[in-house]
Amino acid sequence: DIQMTQSPSSLSASVGDRVTITCRASQSIVTFLNWYQQKAGKAPNLLIYETSSLQSGVPSRFSGSGSGTEFTLTISGLQPEDFATYYCQQSYSVPVTFGGGTKVEIK
Amino acid sequence: QVQLVQSGAEVKKPGSSVKVSCKVSGGTFSSHGFNWVRQAPGQGLEWMGGIIPILGSTTYAQKVQGRVTITADESTNTAYMELISLRSEDTAIYYCARGDLRWILDVWGKGTTVTVSS
């Protein structure tokens, strides 16, 4: 199975900050990497698919980059509604696997 | 707008089984895949398996293989996940998520809480 490792596991940031979350795969997954946002008590929500494609309705302050084994999710100008937990997921091979999550908290 | 409507919360005894349903409302059924992802209390997301009705194929995570069965009923636009031989470690929220052949999970149900307790 492909292991997905996210860092950091949590971070504190202020409204307006630029935030970067990293996801590393245990082997190359080319660009088959997706990002989800999960707010407390809610189901996850797809933000970005295949590394850098923004899901319909997702604000443009979210962006993704990377390839191979290292990927990043960037939030440019953190908004109050962005405080949540973010998960990466590889869709290169089955079984699909998720990273451990990064909790973005208010500083 | 597509919605995935899941069945209600369940409380089960260890050793018993549970079957959770996921009905597709407002969208096509057989042209997509359906996955089950669970989340134990305070933990991350764990993919359990998925089904692609149009291909008639299912795939399961090794951790639950042998205990989980995922099916789909195209006549009622409903996917199911059955988990047998329940243990306390199976206590979690179980999410149904629509996917495609690229395993991108673009629509999620609200989740079904399954509690396993004696």
**What's the per-residue H, E or C state across chain A?**
CCCEEEECCEEEECCCCEEEEEEEECCCCCCCEEEEEECCCCCCEEEEECCCEECCCCCCCEEEEEECCEEEEEEECCCHHHCCEEEEEECCCCCCEECCCEEEEEC
Percentage above 70 pLDDT, chain A: 100
Choose among A45, A55, A98: nearest Cβ to B47: A98
Residue of chain B whose Cα is closest to the Cα of A51: B104
pLDDT of residue B53: 87
pLDDT (tens digit per residue) in B20-68: 999 999 887 778 899 999 999 999 999 999 999 888 899 999 999 999 9
pLDDT of residue A23: 98
The answer on pLDDT for B100 being more than 90 is no
Look-up: residue for tokens 């199976």?
B90
Q: What's the mean per-residue pLDDT of chain A?
A: 97
Least confident range from A12-16, A37-41, A78-82, B23-27: namely B23-27
CB contact under 8 A, B104 and A91: yes
Binding-site residues on chain B for chain A (CB distance < 8 A): 35, 37, 44-47, 49-50, 59-62, 95, 97, 102-106, 108-111
Distance from the Cα of A91 to chain B's closest Cα (Å) equals 5
CB contact under 8 A, B62 and A95: yes
pLDDT of residue A96: 95
CB contact under 8 A, A44 and B104: no
Chain B contacts in chain A segment 65-104 (CB below 8 A): 87, 89, 91, 94-101
Segment B79-88 shows an average pLDDT of 98
The answer on pLDDT for A27 being more than 90 is yes
Q: Cα Rg for chain B, rounded, in angstroms?
A: 13
CA A39 centroid distance within chain: 13
Whether the CB of A64 is below 8 Å from some CB of chain B: the reply is no
